[in-house]
Structure 1
Amino acid sequence: MAQKPFEELTISDDFMFCKVMEHEFICKEFLEMLFSAKVEKITYLSSQNTVIGNSAAKSVRLDVLIKDMAGRTYDIEMQVSNEYNIPKRMRYYQSILDVAFLDQGYSYKALNDSFVIFICLFDPIGKNRAVYSFENICKEDATIPLQDGTKKIILNANGFKEADNKDLQGFLRYVKTGKVTTDYTRRIEKVMQTIKISEQARKEYRVLPAVIMDAFDEGIEQGKSLGLAEGEARGSRQAKLETAKNLLHFGLSRENIALATGLTKAEVEAL
């Protein structure tokens, strides 16, 4: 499939969404708009993070990963096409974050609150709501929350008219139609125009598919001569190193990074 022209990218395109959200003031305002509350200072913000639960687990590439001063973590994803797997995908993303970010030897109580947020151009639940928020509660008594510190939120841009919050409604309208109607979407549009005149951003977009596929292609080629298993192992090494570097920035211990990625402690310490 041909790559979409750089000039035609919108906020709903994965590359542009990630580049826009890399701007802390845009990302912070999004969270404050969504939660209707002030968000602690952002201490970590990164896009396109490859996270591997362990050496045998399915890896995922997270769109935008955030940590605030209070220790809360947020994963924000843009979903354009409906593959009818959003609930279970959110479940997996939540679990892989927990596995990756709980240091070995720490109590389960050390798990910070985490939020998995999916912005969809379709309604994966089918009830025509703009916002679906899910937390674990007692089935026998809905007033009793499990208090496990997790929350999953689905934003349905297709149902933007149903949003009570006018700023959120304007954002979802912008995601769905590209129409600017609020101060926040005007700020996003300005950032997007700045990105579109950036030659560095244009170059990143042009080479991104090749970069993403490098590890896979290397595994295929080596698999032909070394055998499938060894080829796949070598092909995934670059992704593991990339993950380890991201986790180092996130403040994890080297021991836990080694466990999370399947690298040796010496390999992690060499980064």
Structure 2
Amino acid sequence: MDVEIIESAGELINVYDIEPCRYHKRGLEKSNRFYQAKIDSRYMKSGERDFTKLPNLYIITILPYDPFGENYMMYQIINQCLEVPGLEYKDGLRYIYFNTTGKKGGSPAIRELLQYFQNSTETNARSERLQRIHEHVKKVKVLPEVREEFMRLDDIIYYEREEADQNRAVQDILELLEDCGEVSEELKNKIKVQTDKKTLRRWHKLAARAESLEEFKTKM
């Protein structure tokens, strides 16, 4: 599902870049910012000064985890004015994060689609649209260039080690906090989505010293 879709009507109007991400990625937001800049540079000719020709860009990331810990199926991010929240800022950029484990928001169609992304089997291709996608996926999978690994072995090892380290750190923090009482799902989610190693180390020390969950939440 690593796809770039170009929509045009004489002139280029919209570009949709869809990218699945199997692993917890550190700095996900800044990674997408860098990725967006690379895409934009492809659609502006060298020396071009008419920036109205730059298409609207939708960066769509599909994740098997919740990137923000709020349990939504879908997060849409746009730039806005802090002083005037309702002010329309027409930069044509939107980030969309799909969380295949989310429960809130979205729609029945989005929920069905995310279930298919999480487990892309014929059984989960329940609607006619998903059946068409599944047929296309089966055809693409047998192409020689697709059968090869997209990621180099060292990339796979790196991300798996990063994910394992993060999971271990999160589990250690939660085990310490459970000594203070029952940890809420909201607090668990906030800890689980944290990918910064320094922050996790600080939270680990805080969890070891905290005498209550309220003290931990206040100081975290």
Give the deviation of 1:190 after TM superposition.
2.4
Work out whether 1:144 is the aligned partner of 2:87.
Answer: yes
Aligned residue for 1:133?
A: 76
Gaps of 5+ in 2: 154-220
Q: 1:205 is aligned with what amino acid?
A: V
May I ask how many residue pairs the two structures share in their alignment?
A: 146
Aligned residue for 2:38?
A: 96
Aligned residue for 2:58?
A: 115
RMSD: 2.3
Cα-to-partner distance string for 1:114-133 (whole Å, 9 max, x where unaligned): 11110111111111111110
1-side partners of 2:74 and 2:92: how far apart? 19
Give the deviation of 1:163 after TM superposition.
4.2
Aligned residue for 1:69?
A: 8
1-side partners of 2:48 and 2:8: how far apart? 23
Which TM-score applies when normalising by structure 1? 0.49
Q: Judging changes above 3 Å, is the alpha-carbon distance between structure 1 residues 119 and 107 closer, same or farther for their aligned structure 2 residues?
A: same
Aligned residue for 1:186?
A: 131
Identity %: 25
Which TM-score applies when normalising by structure 2? 0.59
Q: Judging changes above 3 Å, is the alpha-carbon distance between structure 1 residues 113 and 209 closer, same or farther for their aligned structure 2 residues?
A: closer
Cα-to-partner distance string for 1:226-260 (whole Å, 9 max, x where unaligned): xxxxxxxxxxxxxxxxxxxxxxxxxxxxxxxxxxx
2-side partners of 1:176 and 1:190: how far apart? 17
Query: Where does structure 1 differ by over 4 angstroms across 4 or more consecutive aligned residues?
Result: 206-210
Q: Judging changes above 3 Å, is the alpha-carbon distance between structure 1 residues 209 and 120 closer, same or farther for their aligned structure 2 residues?
A: closer
Q: 1:137 is aligned with what amino acid?
A: Q
2-side partners of 1:207 and 1:152: how far apart? 29
Give the deviation of 1:78 after TM superposition.
0.5
Aligned residue for 1:204?
A: 145
1-side partners of 2:150 and 2:126: how far apart? 33
- Of stretches 183-192 and 92-101 in structure 1, the one that deviates more from structure 2 is 183-192
Cα-to-partner distance string for 1:18-70 (whole Å, 9 max, x where unaligned): xxxxxxxxxxxxxxxxxxxxxxxxxxxxxxxxxxxxxxxxxxxxx32221114
Instruction: Give the secondary-structure state (helix, strand or coil) at the position aligned to 1:69.
Output: strand
2-side partners of 1:169 and 1:209: how far apart? 27
1-side partners of 2:66 and 2:150: how far apart? 28
Q: 1:127 is aligned with what amino acid?
A: E
Aligned residue for 1:60?
A: none
Q: 2:31 is aligned with what amino acid?
A: R
Q: 1:75 is aligned with what amino acid?
A: D
2-side partners of 1:140 and 1:174: how far apart? 40
Equivalent of residue 97 in structure 2, options 154, 159, 184: 154
Instruction: Give the secondary-structure state (helix, strand or coil) at the position aligned to 2:62.
Output: strand
Aligned residue for 1:239?
A: none
Matches within 5 A, 1:28-67: 63-67=2-6
Q: Which has the larger radius of gyration?
A: 2
